[in-house]
């Protein structure tokens, strides 16, 4: 019996005829105003010679402390068919006057050549997770034609790099945009030119560079400035800065969609029930029609994130069913909620412990949410290794001290505080108004990650432990996570 091809083959798509190369040397030269030394084609782009794989174009960027031109030999040796350079070299290349400007020019060319729905994502917390969930949802429904910024490539180099890597056949693009100062998002969003712009939440991240949370809300609202005509702005309805964000969005968006649990939400949470997987079963109202889906990731913050995802998928014309499947299957990201089972001795005799990796970043809001999540995690002993929160400005000590209440509420048994800034939390726990609770916490304060590792080793990882590792990336707790997961079960 002959199978019916119509049932087993994808439907025809004109974009299937597109070339396989990401860029040719002629296209790169035309986009950047450069001159190609010889014909070549590339399938990817790298700015770090150590990350070059065969087929990658190497951009020899110049930084304050490094010059990519020094690493051309390594890039070619790893299989780069060509490079973008500021002076002629021995390998195939495109010669430009400034490689950083050339990267932006190539990014603009990439954005101009696609017929795709583009989503931009920012926020004080949750933007990487929302970006990854959106990508997973849109990639399912587009035969693999979705593209996104990888890792946390969300700054003045990462965003143009992510754009330049976008294939011509892309149908959906999702780009994360971050900022430390006012004005940065304004420039990035004008490169991305999103059709949908999402703000996940407003919190005192990098508040040391701002006069207050209102100024952070204004800076995050810059993402709306790059919206394409008639674009959609998606904002958190439950934020105390909702009105401020809405006013900013209304000046640039054709439509504003609020997500959350309040009556002012357009995409509104109806119900959230703990699921057997450890996540949440969510029922939401998407403006007249209800949807029900499961989130694999634990925590109330992921319920809010999921509403933003659903709002953005519907606004961009994606598949809500695929979005539900993506949320149900999504695992934690490295440094942002990844969960590992690691070997352990003694304790409950299970021979294993749970490690929650939140080592990439931290601010007061994300610390509070993550500690709540630890408190809701079943364990015979809860261990929290908390690194300092950086860039908090003059109120740094207060923000650290304010973590005392969430630590106590999470019923932490063993607390290792890392970094001099954490002295304020150690003092606050010692002065806690709930001494009966605070007294049960075994607290150690160390100066760096190496000391934290020694402290944990002295205690030992016990069977049934739930160990949370969280702090600003500059504290370096990722190294501790890597050492603990080296023998992951």
Q: Is the pLDDT of residue 59 over 70?
A: yes
Confidence of residue 152 (pLDDT cuts 50, 70, 90): confident
CA distance 69 to 487: 38
Strands 23-24 and 41-42: antiparallel
State phi, psi for 266 to the nearest 5 degrees.
Answer: -80, -40
CA distance 198 to 122: 6
**What is 349-365 written as a DSSP string?**
SSSEEEEEEE-S---HH
Q: What is the pTM of this model?
A: 0.84
Going from the N-terminus, what domains does the chain have, and what CATH number goes with each? 20-99 (3.40.1390.10), 114-329 (3.40.1190.10), 338-485 (3.90.190.20)
36 closest CA partner among 24, 21, 22, 19: 24
Say which residues have a Cβ less than 8 Å from residue 396's Cβ, sequence separation at least 6. 208, 389, 421, 424
Which element (helix H / strand E) includes 255? Answer: strand 255-260
pLDDT of residue 312: 98
Contact 241, 262 (CB under 8 A): no
219 closest CA partner among 100, 124, 324, 142: 124
Strands 117-122 and 41-42: unpaired
More reliable by pLDDT, 413 or 333:
413
CA distance 413 to 467: 10
| 334 burial via Cβ count (<10 Å: 0-12, 13-18, 19+) | middle
At 296-327, the pLDDT tens digits run: 998 889 999 999 999 999 999 999 999 999 99
Alpha-carbon dihedral 344, 349, 350, 353, rounded to 10 degrees: -30
At 133-144, the pLDDT tens digits run: 999 999 998 989
Q: Is the pLDDT of residue 130 over 80?
A: yes
CA distance 400 to 420: 11
Say which residues have a Cβ less than 8 Å from residue 166's Cβ, sequence separation at least 6. 110, 111, 114, 116, 147, 173
At 335-386, the pLDDT tens digits run: 888 899 999 999 999 999 999 999 988 989 889 989 999 999 999 999 999 9
């Amino acid at each position: 019996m002959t199978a019916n091809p119509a049932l087993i083959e994808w439907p025809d798509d004109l974009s299937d005829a597109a070339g396989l190369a990401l860029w040719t040397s002629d296209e790169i030269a035309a986009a950047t105003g450069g001159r190609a030394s010889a014909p070549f084609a590339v399938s990817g782009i790298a700015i770090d010679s150590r990350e070059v794989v065969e087929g990658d174009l190497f951009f020899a960027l110049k930084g304050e402390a490094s010059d990519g031109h020094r690493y051309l030999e390594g890039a070619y040796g790893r299989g780069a068919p060509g490079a973008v350079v500021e002076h002629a070299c021995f390998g195939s290349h495109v010669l430009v006057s400034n490689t950083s400007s050339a990267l932006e020019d190539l990014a603009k060319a990439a954005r101009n050549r696609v017929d795709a729905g583009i989503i931009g994502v920012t926020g004080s917390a949750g933007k990487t997770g929302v970006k990854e969930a959106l990508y997973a949802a849109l990639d399912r429904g587009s035969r693999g034609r979705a593209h996104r910024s990888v890792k946390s490539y969300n700054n003045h180099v990462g965003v143009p790099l992510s754009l330049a890597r976008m294939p011509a056949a892309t149908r959906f693009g999702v780009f994360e945009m971050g900022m430390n100062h006012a004005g940065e998002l304004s420039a990035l969003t004008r490169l991305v030119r999103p059709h949908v712009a999402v703000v996940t939440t407003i919190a005192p991240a990098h508040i040391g560079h701002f006069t207050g949370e209102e100024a952070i809300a204004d800076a995050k609202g810059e993402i709306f400035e790059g919206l394409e005509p008639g674009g959609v702005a998606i904002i958190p309805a439950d934020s105390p800065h909702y009105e401020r964000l809405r006013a900013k969005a209304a000046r640039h968006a054709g439509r504003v969609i609020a997500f959350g649990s309040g009556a002012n939400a357009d995409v509104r949470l109806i119900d959230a029930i703990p699921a057997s997987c450890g996540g949440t079963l969510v029922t939401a109202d998407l403006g007249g029609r209800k949807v029900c889906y499961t989130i694999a990731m634990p925590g109330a913050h992921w319920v809010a994130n999921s509403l933003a995802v659903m709002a953005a998928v519907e606004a961009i014309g994606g598949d809500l069913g695929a979005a539900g499947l993506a949320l149900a299957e999504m695992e934690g990201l490295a440094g942002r909620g990844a969960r590992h089972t690691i070997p352990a001795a003694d304790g409950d005799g299970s021979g294993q412990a749970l490690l929650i990796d939140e080592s990439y970043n931290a601010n007061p809001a994300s610390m509070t949410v993550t500690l709540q999540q630890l408190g809701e995690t079943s364990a015979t002993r809860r261990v929290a290794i908390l690194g300092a929160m950086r860039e908090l400005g003059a109120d740094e000590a207060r923000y650290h001290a304010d973590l005392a209440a969430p630590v106590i509420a999470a019923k932490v048994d063993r607390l290792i505080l890392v970094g001099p800034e954490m002295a304020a939390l150690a003092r606050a726990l010692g002065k806690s108004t709930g001494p009966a609770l605070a007294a049960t916490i075994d607290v150690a304060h160390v100066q760096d990650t190496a000391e934290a590792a020694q402290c944990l080793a002295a205690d030992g990882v016990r069977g049934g432990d739930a160990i949370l590792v969280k702090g600003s990336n500059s504290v370096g707790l990722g190294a501790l996570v890597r050492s603990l997961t080296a023998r992951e079960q």
